A and B are shown apart, each in its own frame.
Chain A
Amino acid sequence: AQSVAQPEDQVNVAEGNPLTVKCTYSVSGNPYLFWYVQYPNRGLQFLLKYITGDNLVKGSYGFEAEFNKSQTSFHLKKPSALVSDSALYFCAVRDATGRRALTFGSGTRLQVQP
């Protein structure tokens, strides 16, 4: 079985400050990890993924995520938040040797205040 936990329902940060959205996962075998963002009444938009290699993954719109195998975490980060980053963020995992569909976390709402 595979699962994802996003422990924070909401994260609040001031514009210009760094942001972190937390994600931990559980899979058997090697994980493939993804971050998506969802704006109101829209589908999910791909941000970045970790497959293998460098633990720091860079993605769209200045976002990056750090894979930590020992802590089974894949936290999303951005050095300087923008008001336009306010949205719902989902972490997802897939077992490299198993199902190819994604298992999503429950989502974290990011609110960036001007």
Chain B
Amino acid sequence: AQSVTQLGSHVSVSEGALVLLRCNYSSSVPPYLFWYVQYPNQGLQLLLKYTTGATLVKGINGFEAEFKKSETSFHLTKPSAHMSDAAEYFCAVGDSSYKLIFGSGTRLLVRP
């Protein structure tokens, strides 16, 4: 069965600093991987997804993630944090019935 582990329930960075949110997955088949963002009192919005092809995936708002099969990881990065990036981020793996299995989420805090 697929599963996702997000390391760090809270990550705090200074504005302008690198953002790194960690995600490791477990999947017996080639995975479909996603990062979603949830702003306060809102639904989830897709940042980026990996299905097949290029292992470096670029998403919206300057985020990108690299699929590393050997490390079973799909970490999310952004070179320079902005105050508006403060939100909760969820990594998810898709299973064969196209439902999403989510990690526990990482809350990103951006310090001025």
Q: Do A and B come from one complex?
A: no
Interface, chain B (partner A; CB < 8 A): none
